[in-house]
Amino acid sequence: MASIADTPSASKPSVVPGDLGWHLAMVLRGYQTRFEDTVSDLPGGIRGYQVLSTVVHRNPPNQLALASHLGIDRTVMTYLLDTLVKAGLVERIPDPSDRRARKVVPTTKGEGCLADFEQRMAAVERQFLSGLSEREASELESTMHRLAMIVHREQPGASPCEAMDNLP
Amino acid sequence: MASIADTPSASKPSVVPGDLGWHLAMVLRGYQTRFEDTVSDLPGGIRGYQVLSTVVHRNPPNQLALASHLGIDRTVMTYLLDTLVKAGLVERIPDPSDRRARKVVPTTKGEGCLADFEQRMAAVERQFLSGLSEREASELESTMHRLAMIVHREQPGASPCEAMDNLP
DNA sequence: TATTGTTATACTCTATAACTATA
DNA sequence: TATAGTTATAGAGTATAACAATA
C-alpha cells in the first residue's frame, strides 16, 4: 500500500505551486462555515451581515458602490436588499442629487441588530484564529488586509467604491 | 454627498468583525482569477490542475481520499476524472487489495503537463504576492498553511486523507 | 451493514441580457 | 449615449439520493 513516504518530501511550506490557493480556499471555507452558523438567523445570511456592516461602517453613496465593494453583482444586490428591507433592517432612500440612485441606510433596528451580531462574530474570529499566536494572528490580519486592497484595486468594477477602500 | 470622512475612523486594520472574511474572500477571488487564466487550457481548469497536482505529489490511495483532500464531493470527482482520463492525463487503476476502490495515477503525459503548468503557476504566485515583502510573503504562506491544516482537520470528511495532511 | 464509485435529479448560485428612469 | 436600479431567463456549480459492486 502506498504510504505518504512515497511523496517527495518538502523542506519548506508551499513548495508545490498552487498550494497557496488550496490553503486560501480551505481557510475561507472553514471561516465561512463558522460565519454561516453565527449569522444564520439574520436575513440574507453572510451577505446580509456584510451588507449591514458595510452600510453602517462605510456609508456607501448608492447600491452600486455597496455591491462592488462586496464584490457582488448589482442584480444580486437588489434581491438582497429586498430581504433586508422586508426585515426592517435597512431602508432605501432616494438620492436628492441623482434621482436614479438610492442610498441604503440602516434603521435603528438594523443598527442594534448589527451590534449584536458583531459581538458574536468577533468571538468567532477570535476562536478561528486561536490556533495561532497573538503575533501571527495580527500579522495575518494586516497582511490579508493589504493584499485584499491590492487585489480589489486591480479587480474590474472596483472603481465605484475606490474612495471607500483607500482608508489608512 | 456623503464622503468617506463620515465613516468611523479605524486605527487598526480589521477592527470591524467580519472584515477578515471579506479580506479572505477578496484575496481568494483575485488568486482564482489569475489561476483560472493560467490553467484555462487544462481540462477541468483549476480543479483539473489540483487533481493532477495531488495525484502526483501526494499519491492518494483512492478517489475518495483525493476528493476529500481537495474538499470536493466524490460525485463531482467522478466527472472531473472522466475529463482528465479522456485527455490522457491520468488513469484509474484497480486496487488489488480492495476491488471497490480505484487508484488514480498520472500518465507520462500527465506528469509532463503538470511540470509545465507548475512553472506557470509558480510565476503567477510570485506575481500575486509581489506587493508584499519577501518576509511578509513567506510568513503569510506558512501561516495560511498552518491555519489550513487546523481547519481541514476540524472539517467533516477530512478523515480519509488524514495521513496526507500530517506532513511536517 | 458499511463503503467505493457511479449515475440521475433537483436546487442554488451566478452571469447575462433586456427594460425603466434618469443623467 | 451612458448610468442606477430592476426584472427575467439560462447556465454552471452543488447537493442529494439511489444504485451496483465489494468489504
In this complex, the residue of A18, A142, A143 whose CB is nearest that of residue B53 is: A18
**pLDDT of the residue at A138:** 93
Kindly list the residues from chain B whose CB atom is less than 8 angstroms away from the CB atom of residue A18. 35, 49-50, 53, 118, 121, 125
Assigned CATH topology for domain A31-131 = Arc Repressor Mutant, subunit A (1.10.10)
Q: pLDDT, tens digit, for every residue of A89-147? A: 999 999 999 999 999 999 999 999 999 999 999 999 999 999 999 999 999 999 999 99
Residues 106-165 of B with CB within 7 A of strand D: none
Q: E strand or H helix at A49, and its extent?
A: helix A45-58
Q: Is the pLDDT of residue A32 over 50?
A: yes
Average pLDDT over residues B71-76: 93
**pLDDT of the residue at A8:** 37
Q: Where are the domains of chain B?
A: 40-161
Asked whether residue A102's C-beta has any atom of DNA/RNA strand D within 7 A, the reply is yes
Q: pLDDT, tens digit, for every residue of A2-31? A: 333 233 333 333 479 988 988 998 898 899
Asked whether residue B75's C-beta has any atom of DNA/RNA strand C within 7 A, the reply is yes
Check: CB of residue B38 under 8 Å from CB of residue B126. no
Q: Is the pLDDT of residue A161 over 60?
A: no
Q: Is the pLDDT of residue A64 over 90?
A: yes
Contact A26 B125 (CB under 8 A): no
Confidence at B93, pLDDT banded by 50, 70, 90: very high
Average pLDDT over residues B62-89: 94
Average pLDDT over residues B84-106: 96
**pLDDT of the residue at B155:** 67
- In angstroms, the CA A42 to CA A79 distance is 15
Confidence at B11, pLDDT banded by 50, 70, 90: very low
**pLDDT of the residue at A141:** 94
Beta-carbon contacts of residue B60 (< 8 Å; ≥ 6 apart): B54, B66, B69, B103, B104, B161, B164
What CATH code is assigned to B40-161?
1.10.10.10
Check: CB of residue A72 under 8 Å from CB of residue A161. no
Give the bases of strand D that a protein CB approaches within 7 Å: 3-8, 13-17, 21-23
Q: Is the pLDDT of residue B134 over 90?
A: yes
> When comparing pLDDT for B167 and A60, which is higher?
A60
Contact B7 A118 (CB under 8 A): no
Spatial distance from the CA of B75 to the C1' of D16 (Å): 11
- In angstroms, the CA B122 to CA A18 distance is 7
Confidence at A152, pLDDT banded by 50, 70, 90: confident
Q: Is the pLDDT of residue B12 over 50?
A: no
